Structure formats: C-alpha cells, structure tokens
Chain A
Amino acid sequence: MKKIVFSVILAVAALSSGSAFSQAPDQADEIIRGRYQAILADCGACHTAPGAKPLSGGRPLETPFGQLIPPNITPDKATGIGNWTEQDFRRAMKIGIGHDGKRLYPAMPYPAYTKMSDQDIGNLWSYLRTVEPVFNPVESNQLPFPFNIRLSMLGWNTINFEEGTFKPDPSKSSEWNRGAYIVQGPGHCGTCHSPKTFLGADKTDEALQGASLQGWYAPNITGNPHIGIGSWNEDEIVQYLKTGANAHTIASGPMAEAIQASTSLMTDEDLKAIATYLKSTEGGSAEKPQPLAASDPHMTAGAAIYHDTCSACHGGEGKGARQLFPALAGSPLVQQPSAETLVRLVLNGSQAVATPEARTTPSMPSLGWRLSDQQVADVLTYIRNSWGNAAPAVQPSDIAGQR
C-alpha cells in the first residue's frame, strides 16, 4: 500500500512539473508566442534528432571544418540548458556567447538571430523553459585542431560578425519589413542559401544567391527572374512554403524538412511577407547564358535518355504535371550554376514532403542503378539546356563523388 501511495505522489509530481499550464496565467501568451518563435527559427531542424524527444540534441552537422553536434537545449539541468539564465540565453542568441562564457560556433546561426527583437527572444526563452527536460549528454565540439579551440571564434566574430537588432527600412511597407526580419533574422534563410567565405561566413553582398552544403545545393532565392524565384508570383511562393509544392516545383532535401517543421506552420501573413521581401531582392545576372546546341553529342545522348527515362512523368517538353511532377522547363532549380541537387535527385530519388495541405507524397525513383556517370551527366546537361533552359554542362566527375 505504501508503495502505491508513493507512486501516485510521484506521478502527480511528474505531471505538474514541465507543463505549460502550471505557469502563471499571464505567461501563457508569452509561451505561445515563444512557441511560434521556435517555429520561425526552426530550432528543431538542428536540435532535434530524427525520432528523438524535441530539442534534446540533434544529428551531427557536417561543416567544411569538421563535425558539430547540435546540443540538448531542453531545460535539463545536467545536460541541457536548465542552468542557464535568461541573460545567458540572450547573449547566446545576440552575440554567440553561451553559459560560462563559452563561445558558440556560427553553425548556430547567431549572426542571423542577432537581428531578432528582445521581445521575440524573451518569448522564445519562456517557451524553451516549458519543453520537457531530457537527460541526453551531447559533446557538441567534434572539430579537429585548431578549429576545436572555441576562443578562435573571438577572431572570427571580429572579421565576420556584426551584432545588432534588425532595423526596419522606413521607405518600405510594413509587410516588406516583416518579411526582411523573418528572412534575415529568425528564419535564418541565408544560413543555407547564401554563399560562404572561406571562413564559412555569409557573403553579405551575395546574400541568398545559392550555396552548396551537406551534399545539396541550396538554390538562389532572390528575385532573379532566371535562376531565382522572380518568375513565381507571391501566391506561388506562399503555396510552396506552406505545402511543399506549387505549380512549378516540389521541395526536396533539407528544404523539405524546413517546410515540414517550420514554414508550413507559419501564418499566411508571415509567408506573404517573406514572399514580398524575397521577390524584391536582387541577385546574380538577369542575363541568361546561351544554351548548348541541341546537336552537341552530349545533348543528343541526353535527349535519348530523357525520353526513355524521365519523360513519362516530367513530360516530353519538360512541363511536368501540376502538384505531382515538377516542371523542368523554366525551373530555377534546374538552372542553378551547380547541378549538385539535381545529381542527388537522379541518383537517390526523392519524396515530396507531407504537409497538412498536401498529404500525398509523390516520389521520384532512384535511377542510379540504371544510368552511368556519363549518362547522368548527359541527361542533366540536356534538361539544363532544353525548352528555354540554359546552364553549364554537367561533367561525369560531378556525379562520381555522389555515388
């Protein structure tokens, strides 16, 4: 009997701690707003490993400098951020210095989060306090010498980092400013989509113009009409971010994950603001290069492969089928300077992401078994230079590395 009483007490104690509703009522709004900040900032993308408890530490990030493991940011005192103060958290978000003065690596996108408002960071902190604490020790720093010396980030910050909250541009609409805030701040779009310097910092003068990371090419998402998203209207951009698919394309790879965990859960107003801002950005030459001649031997071989292997879904003229098979003709992704993502899609196949508004997940089969490196290169060269598309030819050596 004693045992039963004891376990009941234990259960009640467990239920009452860690629940949002045990907080003071005036905090509830703050926590709900903070949860939305966690969606905007997509904390889970890095800090939640597949199948693990939310924010209890992520799967390893492969950076050009070595491996980093995103830490446990649940309120667990021993292995999470349970010992942090709100002041510690603000410093981490604003200037990349954590508890006990430990310097964070900029894989944690504090160069973007520094633009977040004090209120948004405060709300996010309130929310993080309510997450279920999970005991999960993570050794984040897996970098080789000399990158494993955290103090070196002092120098990095001097060169690459500018602290400061986002400053609205009074000459633009409030919608544009909201979009710019999300894209540059919590949304940290540039972390993937902006080209990097040799030190791994964003090239601010080429922001959002496309970059390679973890075996994918995050495409140009500026308003460039040829290789950016300039040819999509705002509703199409919103639809893409909300559902993972629109009339032109279907998301794949890390963007599919970002859509599932983050953008599909954003409000329509915020998605509209993001679309307004992105369409206003400029990036890269608006001039289209000349396509390769259709008589080029790689183009004729590529055409044969295309018609025998790809056209059944993507259509003889590369038009695809709405919401089901992405169009290749006129696709900005197809015409990026790098074909890295395309190679990956052909070799691995791909599956569309399931979002509340698009639950069917059409998928592309893996074709790596059917095509040699030369054939993958030729068929990609063909789709990059047909139906009005124009982009550099793909070489077999671009494929070998991804096998």
Chain B
Amino acid sequence: METHCLKRPTRRQFLSSVAFTVLAASSGPVLARSISGSLPWEARSADPPIQVRPGGWLFFTPEEVSTMEAVADRLIPADELSIGGKDAGCVVYLDRQLVGSYGASSRLYTRGPFMPGLPTQGYQAPDTPAQRYRTGLAALNAWTRDNKGGKRFFELSPDDQDATLRDLEAGKITLADNVDAKSFFNLMLSNVMEGFFADPIYGGNKDMASWKMLGFPGARYDYRDHVTKHNQPYPLPPVSIAGSTEWMTR
C-alpha cells in the first residue's frame, strides 16, 4: 500500500527558508508603528493644494487648445444659466490634469492582458489619457478636414461642430489611428464636466460659476445651524478650498 505524506524538508531547505523569511520581514520600509501618549502632531503642518492658474499650456499644442476649447464650448455652451466651458477654464483644468498623474495613468494598473471589456468595466486599452488626447484630437481634425470642406474642428460653424460631436457620440464616425469615436467622445465629455464642476483650485469652474448656478455651497462641511431650517434657502455663498472673494476687505 502506498502512503502519501508530506516530504520532510531537508536541513538546507529549512535554513534557507528561515533566512528568506527573516530577510523578507526586515527589508523595506516598516509601515506599521505604535503610538502611545498623545497623537503625533506638528505645528504648521499642512498639505496645501496648489492653485492652478491660467497662462501657458503645459500639455496641449496651440491647435489642440483651439480644438478642445471649441469642444468645451459646445458641450457646455454659454447661456443664461452660466458661462461656457471655455471661459470656465475647462481646458486649463484638462491641460494640467494631462501633465499630471491622470495623464500618465500613473495611479492605475496599466499592464496587459488587454481584452475588449464590457462598458461597465471601463476603458481597457493600453493608451494613457495623454496619448488618447494626442491621437484623438489629431484624428478628429483629420476627419473634419476630409469630410467638412478641409476645415479643422474649431473652424467649423457651431452647428457643424454640434453635428460632428453627435456623430462621434453615436459612433457613426470612423477615426484614423484606431481611435474609438464613442469612447473618445465620452472621455472628452467627462473631463469637461469635471473641469466645470470641480473646485476652482484645479483650474476650471472659474469664480465657482457652476456652483453658483446649482446653489452648491462648496467646500463646507458643517450644516448644524441650518439643518432644521426647512424650506429656507441656504444663505451662504459657495467657497473654494482656496477661499472666496468675500474674504477681501471692501
């Protein structure tokens, strides 16, 4: 009869596994620490956000800027409710995002295998957002040049721009360089909305225009004084992480 039992490790195997365990445990930064007495605290410690200011382009070329500004102004046109996407700084927001960690996908897992996924699984291809904008905007302008009388997207009339965006959204257009029209449209739409509604410190939402439009109070986190005041408008104006013009002595 055959018996199955675990093989006893040899002396050599045992010693080397101990050595490996000790090595693994002692290398690398120690992440856990114990604290006694009071919590650690330091005067003046702060991690202030960096205010994005318009002026100069860090990612986009001049042609890309004109194209993106035209797109932003068609997705969020200036009307009686608010200023448009361009004036709100949506492209400034996007420019700074694309040179940062978002543009490089540096905080995402971006190794293969690359398989076509379901829409609910989000973007599944290897290109970073920076690469997608570079090829996508060039492909968009190439398409309008070929199909709209030699004009680039931003040179079209607003109606033509709207028609082109609608076709992009519906996937009716085939763009060069394997750019997926539908997913590129969705990328631009979500980024322009982010720029419009995010805190002004990121470069968009100029003067908190979208928050004023919605009546959103901004970076506040305590409403105890107002929570029982039913059916009354909230009295305070919106405030950015970086402050408000109300803070200036007038």
Contact = CB atoms under 8 A, between A and B. Distances in A.
Interface of A: 297-298, 300-301, 304-305, 307-308, 311-313, 315-317, 347-351, 353-354, 359, 361, 363, 365-366, 368-371, 374-375, 378
A353 B246 CA distance: 35
A370 B38 contact: no
Given A349-B43, A366-B43, A368-B46, A304 B250 contact: no
Contacts of A316: 224-225
Contacts of A301: 246-250
Interface string B17-49: 000000000000000000001110101111010
B243 A369 contact: no
A313 B249 contact: no
Contacts of B44: 347-349, 366, 368
Contacts of B244: 304, 308
Given A350-B43, A353-B38, A361-B38, 11 more contacts: A300-B250, A301-B248, A305-B247, A316-B224, A348-B44, A354-B38, A365-B46, A366-B46, A369-B46, A370-B243, A378-B249
Contacts of B118: none
B240 to A, nearest CB: 9
Interface of B: 37-39, 41, 43-46, 48, 220-222, 224-225, 236, 239, 242-244, 246-250
B236 A370 contact: no
A354 B39 CA distance: 9
Contacts of A361: 38-39, 41
Contacts of B246: 301, 304, 308
A119 B220 CA distance: 59
A353 B38 CA distance: 8
Nearest to B246: A304
Contacts of B242: 370
Given A308-B239, A308-B244, A366-B44, A315 B38 contact: no
Nearest to A345: B43
Given A349-B43, A368-B44, A308 B220 contact: yes
Nearest to A296: B249
Contact of B249 (A298, A350, A359): A298
Contacts of A354: 37-38
A323 to B, nearest CB: 15
Which residue, of B37, B44, B48, has the highest number of chain A Cβ atoms within 10 A? Answer: B44
B250 A297 contact: yes
Contacts of A371: 243, 247
30 contacts: A297-B250, A301-B248, A301-B250, A304-B244, A307-B236, A308-B220, A308-B239, A308-B244, A308-B247, A312-B222, A315-B224, A316-B224, A316-B225, A348-B43, A349-B43, A349-B44, A353-B38, A354-B37, A354-B38, A363-B41, A366-B43, A366-B46, A368-B46, A369-B48, A370-B48, A370-B242, A370-B243, A375-B247, A378-B247, A378-B249
Nearest to A307: B236
B220 to A, nearest CB: 7
Nearest to A304: B246
A345 to B, nearest CB: 10
B212 to A, nearest CB: 15
A245 to B, nearest CB: 13
Nearest to A301: B249
Nearest to A350: B43
A370 B224 CA distance: 24
B19 to A, nearest CB: 32
A312 B226 CA distance: 12
A363 B243 CA distance: 22
Contacts of B249: 297-298, 301, 374, 378
A365 B239 CA distance: 18
Contact of B220 (A312, A349, A359, A363): A312
B145 to A, nearest CB: 48
A311 B244 CA distance: 15
Contacts of B224: 315-316
Contacts of B38: 351, 353-354, 359, 361
A311 B246 CA distance: 15
A359 B220 CA distance: 28
Contacts of B220: 308, 312
Nearest to B250: A297
Contacts of A365: 46
